[in-house]
Amino acid sequence: MTDFTPEIVAFCCRHCAYSAADLAGGGRISYSPAVKIVELPCTGRANALEILHALEKGADGVAVAGCLPGTCHYIKGNTQAKHRVTHVKELLKTIGLEEHRARMINISAAMGAQFVVEITSFVDTIKTLGPSPLSGETRNTRTGSET
């Protein structure tokens, strides 16, 4: 499916992942415009319901991107986020969706180029999986198309 452009939501912590994405942009290192970044004070704020809600509302994949292990500005928010993403992956498997539609990314603010590598890898994974079965109805409603 070469014409498929996935919709990706990336919940990014303000201190590291969002700054890394900003650094990539400032360095004119591009990544897919399909990635919609949602800035959070900390990835510890990303809960399982928000991740699942993003998928329900049409995202083909959801990344949670935060600080490197042991460097969270809020002590263990990134550790909590990792556990939540793992939990979401288990829920996705339980309901018959691919667990790879959710991913945790750990990155520092100085790793703009690595952010692009990680998010591009995630976009490629989602392209391989194809559109989310949950996103079809949402997309058709947005475009006015019928299935």
What ranges do the domains of the chain cover? 8-143
Q: Look up residue 11 and give its two tokens.
A: 């919940």
Q: Is the CB of residue 11 less than 8 Å from the CB of residue 62?
A: yes
- Predicted local distance difference test score (pLDDT) of residue 13: 97
- Predicted local distance difference test score (pLDDT) of residue 9: 98
Q: How far apart are CA 9 and CA 96, in angstroms?
A: 20
Q: How far apart are CA 92 and CA 146, in angstroms?
A: 26
Q: Give per-residue pLDDT as tens, 25-84.
A: 999 999 999 999 999 999 999 999 999 999 999 999 999 999 999 999 999 999 999 999
DSSP, collapsed to helix, strand or coil, labels residue 8 as strand
- Predicted local distance difference test score (pLDDT) of residue 145: 44
**Whether the model pTM is above 0.75:** yes
Q: Does domain 8-143 have CATH number 1.10.10?
A: no
Residue 16 has pLDDT above 50, yes or no: yes
- Predicted local distance difference test score (pLDDT) of residue 137: 52
- Predicted local distance difference test score (pLDDT) of residue 134: 87
- Predicted local distance difference test score (pLDDT) of residue 146: 42
- Predicted local distance difference test score (pLDDT) of residue 3: 80
Q: What is the H or E stretch that residue 53 is in?
A: helix 48-56
DSSP, collapsed to helix, strand or coil, labels residue 40 as strand
